[in-house]
Structure 1
Amino acid sequence: MLDLTSLTELLDKPQKIVITTHHKPDGDAMGSSLGLYHYLIQLGHHVQVIAPTDYPDFLAWMPGNENVIIYTETIEQSARLIAEANLIFCLDFNNLSRINEMGELVRASAAYKVMIDHHLEPEDFDDYRHWNINACATAQLVYDFIVNSLHKKELVNKDVATCLYTGILTDSASFRLPNTTSEVHRIVADLIDAGAVNWRIHELIYNSASENRLRFLGHCLANRLEILPEFNTALIWVTKEDLAKYDSNTGDTEGIVNYALSIGSIRLAAFIVDRRDKVKLSLRSKGEFPASDICKRYFDGGGHRNAAGGQSTLSLDDTIAKFKSILPEYKKLLIQ
């Protein structure tokens, strides 16, 4: 294990560093990774961000994105970089299964592993951990790591700030979730002062949809939304044919579950999509309802109390039926 002093000493001289994050990275995953990347390169380190899979086009504008490599497209190069690394930063995930085939490569590497994350129940694969489940985003923790642990606030430049702002913006649902504390707003103010152009980042993230993506959303709301009033629950489900019809790309389904949750009476919303290999679930909830409990117990997943994900090897229809069959167990919590 590493303590902070030992890690600081390592970072005081150039290292071969890999930064990685969970598969199908979102705004917090890529914002955290690229924010840390821009910090580390100022110190003279040799740094490579490796994403396990592709990610949405609406994140491709972030500074440094052109230097990211995708594991599934660069398997041999990625494996070599992981094997040769002195340090591997694992951001926005706490279990090596979250990076798919890369997980065993990271586990086998002699590099020190540093986890920066805010998810429940971390796996003990790391040598140093900067972890807080109350943080609204991993990007918040990267800021805290740089500024409060390493005391390098002066190195939070425009590129660092832009990426970390993106992570906080997206994982806090535009600063709307309960864990968006006054401290988060103070961090965001610092990032704006450091050069993050908040209105422009918002435009690039939320106002860059394709026509197909918008029509796909309309289809989901018009034809795939089901309300279960006896459980204050809403469900949106999507078939493989739906994805093909609207030429759905990575990221096109992101956020759709929140439309179901926006209905006033709804306490639990589910988005269930039939992917090529498995059926994937995304759950969102209000208040104290434990969406993560459902994913952990029944769908081989987990996450945060109000935002969680899982998967199923059953058919789409059977997965929907299973989800509905679970609801009576949680009825008291859903209708109170």
Structure 2
Amino acid sequence: MNLEDVNAVKQLLSAPQKIVVVPHKNPDGDAIGSTLALWHYLKKKGHEATIIAPNDFPKFLKWMPKNEEILIFEKQSIQAKKYIEEASVIFTLDFNHLGRIGQMEPLLEASQAIFVMIDHHQAPSGYAQIMYSDVTMSSTCEMVYNFMESLNDVEKIDTDMANCLYTGIMTDTGSFKFSSTTSRTHKVVADLIDKGADNTAIHNRVFDTNSPSRLHLLGCALGNMKILEAYSTAYITLSQAELDKYNFKKGDTEGFVNYGLTLEGIQFAVIFIENAEEGIIKISFRSQGSFSVNEFARKYFDGGGHTNAAGGKSEQSLQETTAYFETVLENYKDQLTA
């Protein structure tokens, strides 16, 4: 954060505020970890704080300290609307465009609260009066740690906050293997462990609580994998019928897309997941090296994200979407096989 923004936040938080903290729709470990850690911090500072998530989050995150305090807008909209209308400050974490919060978007657009954005995705929109935006950061959780450090409040990080922040950093760095993981990231994580983060327990709770149906779904996904050697690309498809067959629960497909990148010679991995309720194909893109899936997703699939990790969607059928994907791949053959 620059000095001007630090001073603005200090002034903003110098008196008790009614604060709402918002993650993006379909929140992941970084979104939930960062919002919970910030919520704990704001409560310690004497503010009235409430987390409102657009929709529910995966079961493997529901051990996190005070996760039961999170309001789910889809289930508790009347109560959530009241908090948003009364808020004097709204923090938005792990997203940078109000289009990422689904049905909550018009409520936040109408709010007269002061907005503070903390996010590491590319191309932020300008809705926030105070923006801490840094695409070089490993995760929003690392940014929340930096945010507290900028306010000279790192000593306020307790065991609960440390566990939340560690979870988000761990999940958003692919267990510290992605290129966004820096020496600074490891220093932050080391301090979080010193402050009480139980790294072994966190890994177990996130990665070692699979249901048999999830592993069967993974087997189905891998069985559907198509490898396009000419483009150094692999993609997975999952239809709604397949999701239903294996009793799909929110979060069950987390990480599936990364399996493509474990194949020798593959630079670009994609998963296409049919969502009949929303009438779309949800898409996750991953890459290695300099190939920008953020630019690819923005250009062809109404999405975006980071250079090596992005999301998108299609309103075509699953078959039409993958056919279109294979067609546009031809434009990138030289980049992907260089």
TM-score by length of 2: 0.97
Q: Is 2:220 the counterpart of 1:204?
A: no
> Hey, what's the Cα distance between the residues in 2 that align with 1:3 and 1:288?
32
Q: Write the distance in 1 (CA, Å) between the matches of 2:179 and 2:9.
A: 32
In the alignment, is residue 270 of structure 1 matched against residue 270 of structure 2?
yes
Q: Which residue of 2 aligns with 1:64?
A: 66
**Does 2:310 align with 1:319?**
no
Query: How big is the shift at 1:103?
Result: 1.4
Matched to 2:92, the amino acid is C
Rounded Cα–Cα distance in structure 2 between residues aligned with 1:6 and 1:275: 42
- How many angstroms apart in 1 are the aligned matches of 2:51 and 2:236? 34
Whole-angstrom CA distance in 2 between matches of 1:23 and 1:211: 26
Give how far 1:4 is off: 2.9
Q: C-alpha separation between the residues in 2 aligned to 1:84 and 1:175?
A: 39
1:12 is aligned to 14
Instruction: Give the superposition deviation at 1:108.
Output: 1.0
- Which residue number corresponds to residue 168 of structure 2? 167
State the AA in 1 paired with 2:123.
E
Shift of 1:292: 1.1
Q: Deviations over 1:197-240 (max 9, x none)?
A: 11110000000111100111011112x11100110100100101
Pair 1:28 & 2:30 matched? yes
Equivalent position SS for 1:72: coil
Letter in 1 for 2:226: E
Question: What are the superposed Cα offsets for residues 116-138 of structure 1, whole Å, 9 maximum, x if unpaired?
Answer: 00000001100101110000100
Matched with 2:85 is 83
Which of 134, 137, 140 does residue 138 from structure 1 map onto?
Answer: 140
Distance 1:292 1:128 in 2: 24
Letter in 1 for 2:219: G
Distance 1:4 1:217 in 2: 45
Q: Which runs of 5+ in 1 are unaligned?
A: none
Partner of 1:249: 249
Alignment match, 1:126: 128
Which secondary structure does the structure 1 equivalent of 2:334 belong to? helix
Q: How far off its partner does 1:12 sit?
A: 2.0
CA distance in 2: counterparts of 1:99 and 1:198, whole angstroms: 30
* Secondary structure of the corresponding residue to residue 311 of structure 2: strand
1:163 alignment partner, SS class: helix
**2:254 is aligned with what amino acid?**
E
Using the alignment, how far apart are the partners of 2:8 and 2:305 within structure 1? 31
Q: In the TM superposition, what is the alpha-carbon distance from 1:10 to its structure 2 partner?
A: 2.2
Inter-partner Cα distance in structure 1 for 2:195 and 2:113 = 32
Query: Which letter maps to 2:315?
Result: T
**Aligned residues: percent identity?**
44
Give the whole-Å Cα distance in 1 for the aligned partners of 2:5 and 2:267: 42
Residue in structure 2 matched with residue 260 of structure 1 by the alignment: 260
Query: Counterpart in 1 of 2:332?
Result: 330
- Offset of residue 76 of structure 1: 1.2
Residue-by-residue CA offset, 1:244-294 (whole Å, 9 max, x unaligned): 000101000110000111101100001001102211110100000111111
Q: Secondary structure at the match of 2:74?
A: helix
Query: 2: CA distance between counterparts of 1:210 and 1:295?
Result: 31
TM-score by length of 1: 0.98
Return the offset for 1:3. Answer: 3.9
RMSD of equivalent CA atoms: 0.9
User: What SS does the aligned partner of 1:125 have?
Assistant: coil
Q: Give the AA of the match of 1:290.
A: S
* Residue 50 (structure 1) aligns with: 52
Q: Could you tell me how far apart the structure 2 residues matched to 1:282 and 1:313 are?
A: 15
SS in 1 for 2:181: coil
Find out whether 1:108 has 2:110 as its counterpart.
yes
Q: State the distance in 1 between where 2:12 and 2:232 align.
A: 52
Number of aligned positions between the proteins: 333
Amino acid at match of 2:10: T
| Residue of structure 2 in register with 1:236 after alignment | 236
Q: Structure 2 stretches of 5 or more lacking a match?
A: none
- Distance in 2 separating the partners of 1:25 and 1:132: 19
In 2, the alpha carbon distance for the partners of 1:68 and 1:34 equals 8
